[in-house]
Amino acid sequence: MARRVFLDVGGHTGESVSAALDQRWGFERIWTFEPTTRCVEILERIADDRLTVVPAGWWSSDAEMVIHDPGTLHASVDARASIAGEVERCRFVDAADWMAQNIAPGDQVWLKINIEGAEIEVLDRLLASGEIAKVTYLVVYFDIEMFGESDKAAAMRARLDKAGVPWREASTVLFGRTDTAKVNTWLAWTHGDRLKFARQKVEHLLRRRIFLVRKRLRALR
């Protein structure tokens, strides 16, 4: 029987699954993937019969790799993300294999990918395997651009478009004061609540405009 599924890849401390757990969205199964120990401990406190915490990240194969600055918002397998110099060896699972084993072709799948630069490797694997065809709604943070690799992000955007993947850039659908609010805005958009989405977008743009004006004024003092 087809299910409504939410996949949170890059769970951190539950900002996204806190939105997905809201009964109004009707998710029957929720998985959050988070490789770092301190975040997994927090996620397990909010797990229920719908939410499964997978203590692993997504990658193109089953592997163990070092996470730099584990537990932070910028935690990454890429050493260029490191600020504090702390590391943790973590487990990763093959994204396509996991999808093949756990997601049925008829499922409705909402997939959020926010994995600080590893998104290119994961998306490449999902595209090559064909498992990405199971995704109904995809939102992606192209954090690889923070490392000066905009060319990789541009190439992947083009591949997603060419493959007809129903995806959106995080910056175009995630609006709100908190990460949980942002995910709720995306979910509202995918559920046809265009009014809520438009309201959140306008409020976001106004806050952004005020922030930039205040920044310019401080610079002039």
pLDDT digits (tens, 9 = 90+) for 52-72: 999 999 999 999 999 999 999
Instruction: Name the class of domain 4-220.
Output: alpha beta
Q: Is the pLDDT of residue 1 over 80?
A: no
**pTM, entire model:** 0.93
Q: For the chain, what is the mean pLDDT? A: 95
Amino acid occupying residue 216 = R
Other C-beta atoms lying within 10 Å of the C-beta of residue 41: 14
The predicted structure's pLDDT at residue 218: 84
pLDDT digits (tens, 9 = 90+) for 158-209: 999 999 999 999 999 999 999 999 999 999 999 998 888 888 888 888 888 8
| Side-chain-facing half-sphere of 32: CA atoms under 13 Å | 27
The predicted structure's pLDDT at residue 199: 86
